[in-house]
């Protein structure tokens, strides 16, 4: 997948260009509906489909004091989009100039960059531009390209949204999150050095950086770990590790059931499959070791 970082790069793509525009946090089923429409339009005309998104998340720009928890990092989003067959991704910086740009100015910039702009695909309720004044109606009124406003994909009559998925994950409703995403909820992060206590307990673990991302409730989970193109079954502990630590920093520790090697520094994806038990404090390291054995068996 080719990643573009400015609008000028769109000039180099074979036209007509069809843009699927949004934040795409989590790349859920609603997002994929937009992407598939742009891909279908491009295929019919021999053009190029481009997914266009923004970094940082506009909500992080406007609400810097309390930025929203993310469902996917920029790198994870790239991987998820590539798995959907996306060949071109435009990641535009969201800064003061973009935030103050009117909706009309943004559209004109898109039109000038593409050779030509064949179409724009967005969610039916998408708002953009200064004061969120732009919408599907404005896109259609400006004319000169196709406009598709895709209705929200629903579950039991309720629209799928990144916000709804965050809430589902936060309360531990993994089945609902999986239904909305079309895959198990996963986090993606770098493996960082830990205290190596898992190795002493006969269960070596990888500690994953997860700051800023939505996590399910503390506890022990059966997980699937993806390292590059390979996947491994695993068991994960999410929480403050009350038996071995006096701190309150949440950590995600993952033990792979059939893996040998060094994971330090690698970026891995951890998909939460099933909640096994709550995190608890044990009276001794021996009790903890015995419970870890039961957790591994349950995960298997």
Return the pLDDT at 243: 66
Question: Could you tell me which of 199, 297, 289, 210 has the C-alpha nearest to residue 257?
Answer: 297
Please list, in sequence order, all residues whose beta carbon lies within 8 angstroms of the beta carbon of residue 167, skipping any fewer than 6 positions away: none
Return the pLDDT at 201: 52
The CA-based angle 14-19-23, given to 5 degrees, is 140
- For the chain, the residue count is 300
Q: Output DSSP code: residue 172.
A: T
Q: What does 56-105 look like in DSSP terms, one character per residue?
A: S-HHHHH-TTSPPPBSS-HHHHHHHHHHTT--EEEEEE--HHHHT--HHH
Q: What does 15-39 look like in DSSP terms, one character per residue?
A: SSEEEEES--TT--HHHHHHHHHHH
Q: What's the mean pLDDT when you consider all of the chain? A: 91
CA dist 223 and 274 (Å) reads 7
Helix or strand holding residue 192 (H, E)? strand 186-192
Return the pLDDT at 270: 97
Return the pLDDT at 185: 98
Q: Are strands 267-277 and 186-192 parallel, antiparallel or unpaired?
A: antiparallel
Return the pLDDT at 286: 86
- Residue holding tokens 């929480």? 239
pLDDT tens digits for 177-191? Answer: 999 999 999 999 999
Question: Could you tell me which of 83, 62, 80 has the C-alpha nearest to residue 71?
Answer: 80
Return the pLDDT at 57: 79
Q: Residues of the chain whose pLDDT is less than 70?
A: 63-65, 194-203, 242-248
Question: What is the model's pTM?
Answer: 0.90
């Amino acid at each position: 997948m080719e990643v573009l970082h400015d609008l000028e790069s769109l000039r180099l793509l074979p036209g007509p260009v069809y843009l699927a525009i949004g934040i795409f946090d989590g790349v859920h089923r609603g997002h994929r509906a937009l992407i598939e429409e742009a891909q279908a339009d491009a295929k019919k005309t021999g053009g190029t489909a481009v997914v266009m998104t923004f970094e940082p998340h506009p909500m992080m720009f406007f609400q810097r004091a309390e930025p929203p928890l993310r469902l996917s990092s920029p790198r994870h989003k790239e991987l998820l989009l590539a798995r959907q067959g996306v060949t071109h991704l435009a990641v535009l910086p969201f800064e003061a100039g973009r935030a103050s740009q009117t909706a009309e100015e943004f559209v004109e910039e898109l039109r000038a960059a593409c050779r030509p702009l064949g179409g724009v695909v967005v969610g039916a309720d998408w708002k953009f531009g200064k004061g969120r004044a732009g919408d599907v109606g404005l896109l259609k009124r400006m004319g000169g390209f196709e406009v598709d406003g895709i209705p929200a994909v629903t579950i039991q009559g309720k629209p799928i949204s990144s916000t709804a998925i965050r809430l589902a994950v936060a309360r531990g409703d993994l089945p609902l999150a999986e239904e909305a995403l079309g895959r198990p909820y996963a986090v993606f992060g770098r493996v960082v050095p830990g205290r190596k206590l898992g190795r002493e307990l006969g269960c070596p673990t990888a500690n994953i950086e997860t700051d800023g991302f939505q996590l399910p409730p503390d506890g022990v989970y059966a997980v699937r770990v993806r390292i590059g193109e390979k996947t491994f079954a695993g068991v994960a502990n999410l929480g403050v590790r009350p038996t071995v630590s006096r701190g309150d920093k949440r950590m995600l520790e993952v033990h792979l059931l059939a893996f040998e090697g060094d994971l330090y520094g690698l970026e891995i994806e951890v998909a939460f499959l099933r909640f096994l038990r709550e995190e608890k404090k044990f009276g001794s390291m021996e009790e903890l070791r015995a419970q870890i054995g039961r957790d591994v068996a349950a995960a298997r």
